């Protein structure tokens, strides 16, 4: 078969993509700019102003979660890359393994840890922490209120998406060319300077793809905030879900928010392609 | 070599803490699957009660069946379609290939909820039109004097739409892992096979396929994992009558989660752990054998 004939093998999938990738996105755009009766409108976007609180909360929590993941993930990847090959193999397996347990179950498990009479509160009351606090401050607390706080939601995001930060950073650091580090040291750089001027800039593509892979699911989650936020910490994902399957049925508004979310992803991708050359392998693990 | 310097106690401690953080909830999940009581906080003694209950729970068993069926079907279809699609892409000119690859990567890059919602919109809109058509028109024709009437079936979200959604988000991962293998392959191999009298299909079967097999296998594995693990996209495309395991779990978390769910996840976790250990041990052995051969 000739080369251009062989390319016909892709035709069925191209048709499939047109039907189930491109057409759905066109639907979202059409819905976002139309009313229930079919006319053109920008109302769906202006109406989003009512939800500024949810927008800012989503961005704030997702940014905090991403920062925490980076602060934990970068040192961990760096330390991991200095271990022996067998340790590294087992270590990476251990980091990926939790991803095979459904994230709803892992999140649910945190619910039972953070609950009013969950493990943490049980532990604190067993060691008499609450008695101590009550005695010192004259308060009357029996447990720490953790479920339903923004901290719990951030914890859930960090817990679920930390591997997405570690894997790309690790795969970049582990492939660093050692001769570059030796050259830097031979030329008189101390270890701080080597890190700042060589290792860190070279691991930037991994960082960028890690940041994207944590930020995008964090800003769009609805299950984590539902489970750990106790219904009081609505995020963008919850808002979209409500417009489609929840009580506030309004697919037009939901589409408009989904469109905004797509723009966020495009911006992330643009930043990544612009500043991080060769990040593809990192994304592929 | 700076990166090979051994880690100090503090670094090791930090690593240990992160692993503790990652595994404490899973450990807890497993421990409480053996709890005699129905709480996930208070330990009432050891029992296998919940494992017995699990196999008698029709709702959960049904959702496990749906999950496995949709994942296996979607993986099989996506692997075949993705392999052919990447051979096709690879034969294209860059001018055509690059934009198509960008479209291909959309489902991977987009937030799950956006993919789910957009597919949901498409299905609902198309089915709406179809159902209106089906209600107003029926096919009537007479044959041998008898009049037959064919009514069109009403379509709703269900297993079919769930399967379409899973295939759609699986194919990009297959292409992503088959593509590099095709690029690494020596282009002359196919030409040589054809010069020696192979038809293109024989060349595909005997030359291309064995060369790209590792990519196909890993693509299928990623696709299967993605399918089993998916919640968000299934949630928006499965409708109300069909439910995957993840959807069943989500439904339960709204009320009360039965420890049966802990039992399911323990079984899943142990299976995956066993598979990973086997794969790794085999790989390590193969590496050792290869290294031994090199020194012979």
Inter-chain contact A16–B103, Cβ cutoff 8 Å? no
Picking from B5, B40, B85, the nearest residue to A82 by CB comes out as: B5
Q: Which pLDDT belongs to residue A211?
A: 92
Alpha carbon B4 to its chain centroid, in Å, reads 36
pLDDT of residue A1 exceeding 60 = no
Q: Does A126 contact chain B (CB < 8 Å)?
A: no
Asked which of A39-43, A52-56, A139-143, B73-77 is least confident by mean pLDDT, the reply is A139-143
Q: Please write the tens of the pLDDT for every residue from B215-266.
A: 999 899 889 988 988 999 999 999 888 999 889 888 887 777 778 888 888 8
Once rounded to an integer, what is the mean pLDDT over residues A32-43?
A: 86
Q: Which one, of B109, B84, B127, lies nearest residue B219 by Cα?
A: B84
Say which residues have a Cβ less than 8 Å from residue B278's Cβ, sequence separation at least 6.
none
How many residue pairs from chains A and B have C-beta atoms closer than 8 A? 230
Q: Does A251 contact chain B (CB < 8 Å)?
A: yes
Q: Please write the tens of the pLDDT for every residue from B33-56.
A: 898 887 777 788 888 888 998 888
pLDDT of residue A81 exceeding 90 = no
With CA atoms as reference, the chain A residue closest to B11 would be A79
Q: Please write the tens of the pLDDT for every residue from A51-78.
A: 899 999 999 999 999 999 999 999 999 9
3-state secondary structure of B110: coil
Interface of A with B in 143-162 (CB under 8 A): 159, 162
Mean pLDDT (chain A, rounded): 86
| Model ipTM value | 0.84
Beta strands in chain B (DSSP E): 138-143, 146-151
Q: Which one, of B171, B170, B134, B166, lies nearest residue B152 by Cα?
A: B134
Inter-chain contact B231–A98, Cβ cutoff 8 Å? no
Asked which of A136-150, A206-220, B199-213, B259-273 is least confident by mean pLDDT, the reply is A136-150
Q: Which pLDDT belongs to residue A268?
A: 83
With CA atoms as reference, the chain B residue closest to A223 would be B250
Q: Phi and psi (nearest 5°) for B162?
A: -60, -45
- Which single residue is written with the structure tokens 């595994």? B23
Per the structure block, which two tokens stand in for A18?
A: 């047109």
pLDDT of residue A133 exceeding 60 = yes
- Residues in a beta bridge with B151: B138
Q: Which pLDDT belongs to residue A280?
A: 46
Say which residues have a Cβ less than 8 Å from residue B244's Cβ, sequence separation at least 6.
B63, B66, B67, B70, B162, B230, B231, B234, B238
Per the structure block, which two tokens stand in for B71?
A: 């994942």
Domain limits, chain B: 47-109+157-281
Using an 8 Å CB-CB cutoff, list chain A residues near B6: 82
Question: How far is B262 from B272, CA to CA, in rounded Å?
Answer: 15
Inter-chain contact B26–A106, Cβ cutoff 8 Å? yes
Q: Does A278 contact chain B (CB < 8 Å)?
A: no
- Cα angle B284, B286, B287 (rounded to 5 degrees) comes to 65
Q: Does A53 contact chain B (CB < 8 Å)?
A: no
Mean pLDDT (chain B, rounded): 86
Question: How far is B7 from B30, CA to CA, in rounded Å?
Answer: 32
Q: Answer for the pair B124, B237: CB distance below 8 angstroms, yes or no.
A: no
Task: Label residue A285 by pLDDT band (50, 70, 90).
Answer: very low
pLDDT of residue A281 exceeding 60 = no
What are the structural domains, with CATH classification, of chain A? 54-235+275-283 (1.10.3720.10)
Find the helix or strand (DSSP H, E) in which A103 lies: helix A103-114
Question: How far is A29 from A35, CA to CA, in rounded Å?
Answer: 12
Q: Answer for the pair B98, B187: CB distance below 8 angstroms, yes or no.
A: no
Q: Which residues in chain B come in under a pLDDT of 70?
A: 1-6, 294-296
Please give the DSSP secondary-structure letter assigned to residue A174.
Answer: T
Inter-chain contact B91–A9, Cβ cutoff 8 Å? yes
Question: How far is B255 from B257, CA to CA, in rounded Å?
Answer: 7
Asked which of A170-174, A202-206, A209-213, A229-233 is least confident by mean pLDDT, the reply is A229-233
pLDDT of residue A279 exceeding 50 = no
Q: Which pLDDT belongs to residue B296?
A: 60
Per the structure block, which two tokens stand in for A217?
A: 């699911």
Per the structure block, which two tokens stand in for B118?
A: 């957009």
With CA atoms as reference, the chain A residue closest to B164 would be A20
Residue A271 CA: distances (Å) to CA of A238, B203, B284: 27, 42, 39
Picking from B106, B113, B249, the nearest residue to A220 by CB comes out as: B113
**Residue B150, phi-psi category: left (phi > 0), alpha (psi -120 to 50), beta (remainder):** beta
pLDDT of residue A7 exceeding 80 = yes
Superfamily holding B47-109+157-281: MetI-like (1.10.3720.10)
Asked which of A157-161, A261-265, B144-148, B273-277 is least confident by mean pLDDT, the reply is B144-148
Q: Does A258 contact chain B (CB < 8 Å)?
A: yes
Q: Which pLDDT belongs to residue B144?
A: 80
Q: Looking at the complex, report in whole angstroms how far the Cα of residue A260 sits from the nearest Cα belonging to chain B.
A: 10
- B42-62 burial, b at 16+ Cβ within 10 Å, e below that, comes to eeeeeeebbbeebeebeebee
Question: How far is B202 from A39, CA to CA, in rounded Å?
Answer: 56
Once rounded to an integer, what is the mean pLDDT over residues A207-234?
A: 89
């Amino acid at each position: 078969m000739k080369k251009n004939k062989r390319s016909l093998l892709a035709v069925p999938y191209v048709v499939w993509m047109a039907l189930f990738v491109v057409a759905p996105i066109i639907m979202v755009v059409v819905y976002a700019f139309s009313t229930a009766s079919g006319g053109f409108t920008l109302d769906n976007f202006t109406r989003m102003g009512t939800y500024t609180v949810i927008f800012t909360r989503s961005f704030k929590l997702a940014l905090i979660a991403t920062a925490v993941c980076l602060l934990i993930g970068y040192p961990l990847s760096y330390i991991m890359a200095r271990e022996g090959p067998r340790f590294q193999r087992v270590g990476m397996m251990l980091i990926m393994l939790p991803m095979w347990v459904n994230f709803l179950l892992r999140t649910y498990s945190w619910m039972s840890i953070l609950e009013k009479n969950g493990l943490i509160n049980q532990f604190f009351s067993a060691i008499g922490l609450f008695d101590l606090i009550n005695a010192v401050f004259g308060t009357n607390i029996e447990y720490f209120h953790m479920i339903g706080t923004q901290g719990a939601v951030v914890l859930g995001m960090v817990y679920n998406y930390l591997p997405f930060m570690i894997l790309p950073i690790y795969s970049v650091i582990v492939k660093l060319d050692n001769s570059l580090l030796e050259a830097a040291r031979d030329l008189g750089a101390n270890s701080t300077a080597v890190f700042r001027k060589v290792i860190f800039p070279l691991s930037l593509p991994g960082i960028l793809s890690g940041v994207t892979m944590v930020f995008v699911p964090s800003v769009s989650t609805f299950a984590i905030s539902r489970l750990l936020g106790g219904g009081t910490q609505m995020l963008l994902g919850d808002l979209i879900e409500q417009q489609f399957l929840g009580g506030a049925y309004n697919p037009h508004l939901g589409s408009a928010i989904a469109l905004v979310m797509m723009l966020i992803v495009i911006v992330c991708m643009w930043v990544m392609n612009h500043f991080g050359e060769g990040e593809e392998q990192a994304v592929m693990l | 070599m700076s990166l090979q310097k051994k880690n100090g106690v503090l670094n090791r401690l930090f690593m240990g803490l992160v692993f503790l953080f990652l595994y404490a909830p899973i450990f807890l999940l497993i421990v409480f699957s053996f709890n005699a009581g129905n709480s996930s906080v208070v330990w009432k003694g050891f029992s296998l009660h919940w494992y017995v209950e699990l196999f008698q729970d029709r709702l959960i068993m049904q959702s496990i069946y749906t999950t496995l069926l949709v994942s296996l079907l979607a993986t099989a279809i996506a692997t075949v379609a993705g392999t052919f699609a990447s051979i096709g892409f690879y034969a294209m000119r860059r001018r055509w290939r690059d934009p198509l690859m960008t479209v291909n990567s959309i489902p991977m890059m987009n937030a799950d909820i956006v993919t789910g919602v957009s597919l949901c919109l498409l299905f609902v809109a198309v089915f709406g039109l179809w159902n209106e058509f089906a209600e107003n028109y029926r096919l009537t024709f007479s044959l041998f004097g008898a009049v037959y009437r064919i009514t069109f079936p009403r379509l709703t979200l269900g297993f079919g739409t769930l399967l379409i959604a899973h295939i759609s988000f699986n194919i990009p991962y297959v292409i992503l892992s088959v593509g590099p293998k095709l690029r690494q392959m020596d282009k002359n191999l196919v030409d040589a096979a054809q010069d020696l009298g192979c038809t293109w299909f024989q060349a595909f079967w005997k030359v291309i396929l064995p060369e790209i097999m590792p990519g196909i296998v890993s693509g299928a594995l990623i696709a299967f994992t993605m399918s089993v693990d998916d919640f968000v996209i299934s949630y928006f495309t499965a409708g109300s009558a069909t439910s995957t395991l993840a959807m069943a779990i989500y439904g339960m978390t709204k009320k009360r989660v039965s420890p049966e769910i802990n039992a399911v996840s323990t079984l899943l976790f142990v299976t995956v752990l066993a598979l990973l250990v086997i794969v790794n041990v085999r790989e390590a052995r193969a590496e050792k054998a290869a290294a031994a051969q090199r020194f012979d």
